[in-house]
């Protein structure tokens, strides 16, 4: 078990954040800290654009940083569950 930081890029739509927070509760995971912002500094997300093969526009997506203390296996499961959410573009461990 160790503390991890998860980065989520998701569509900036009403209700999108609630789905992620709800998922942590439903699956019995704990959120230690949460930070959310609309993405305005597109130039810092070139790697994500390449990874997803798309162009981001200012304020169109949000960035979520979540810290949680979990094992490797549980982290993988959490990331897969978050990635499954329809509004999520990508969820990955921020190293």
Partner 1 sequence: MKLAGNDILIQSLINEGVEYVFGYPGGAALHIYDAIFNQNELEHILVRHEQGATHAADGYARATGKPGVVLVTSGPGATNAITGIATAFMDSIPMVVLSGQVASHLIGTDAFQETDMIGISRPIVKHSFTIESAKKIPQVIKEAFYIATSGRPGPVVIDIPKDTTAPDKLFDFKPLDSVEIRSYNPPIEPDPKQIERAIEAILKAKKPVIYAGGGAINSNASKELFELNKLLNFPVTNTLMGLGVYPAKEDRFMGMLGMHGTYQSNMAMHNADLIIAIGARFDDRITNTPDLFAPNAKIIHFDVDHSSVSKIIEANIAVFGQVKNSLIELIKQLKAKNDLIDENLIKPWLEEIDKWTELHGLNHELYKENSDKNMILPQAVVQHVYNITEGKAFVTSDVGQHQMFAAQYYHFDKPRYWINSGGLGTMGFGLPAAMGVKLAFPEEEVVCITGEGSIQMCIQELSTCTQYNLPVKIININNEALGMVKQWQDMNYGGRHSESTYKSSLPNFVELVESYGHVGFKIEKNSELKTTLEKAFSIKDKLVFVDIYVDPGEHVYPMLVAPNGSLKDMWLSKDKKV
Are the beta carbons of 17 and 43 closer than 8 angstroms?
A: no
Position 89 contacts partner 1 (CB under 8 A): yes
**Which of 2, 14, 41, 43 is the binder for partner 1 (CB under 8 A)?**
14
Choices 31-39, 42-50, 69-77; region in contact with partner 1 by CB under 8 A:
69-77
Cβ count within 10 A of residue 86? 9
Q: CB of residue 13 vs partner 1: minimum separation in angstroms?
A: 10
The two tokens of residue 13 are 């739509």
> What gap in Å lies between CA 44 and CA 66, rounded to an integer?
19
Position 50 contacts partner 1 (CB under 8 A): no
> What gap in Å lies between CA 95 and CA 84, rounded to an integer?
21
- Judged by the rule CB under 8 A, the positions of this chain that interact with partner 1 are 10-11, 14-15, 18-19, 22, 26, 52, 54, 73, 76-77, 80-81, 83-84, 86-89
């Amino acid at each position: 078990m160790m503390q991890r930081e998860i980065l989520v890029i998701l569509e900036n739509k009403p209700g999108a954040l609630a789905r992620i927070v709800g998922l942590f509760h439903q699956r019995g995971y704990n959120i230690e800290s949460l930070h959310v912002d609309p993405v305005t500094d597109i130039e810092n997300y070139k790697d994500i654009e390449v990874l997803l093969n798309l162009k981001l526009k200012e304020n169109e997506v949000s960035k979520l940083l979540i810290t949680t203390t979990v094992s490797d296996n549980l982290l993988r499961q959490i990331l897969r569950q978050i990635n499954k959410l329809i509004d999520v573009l990508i969820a990955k461990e921020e190293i």
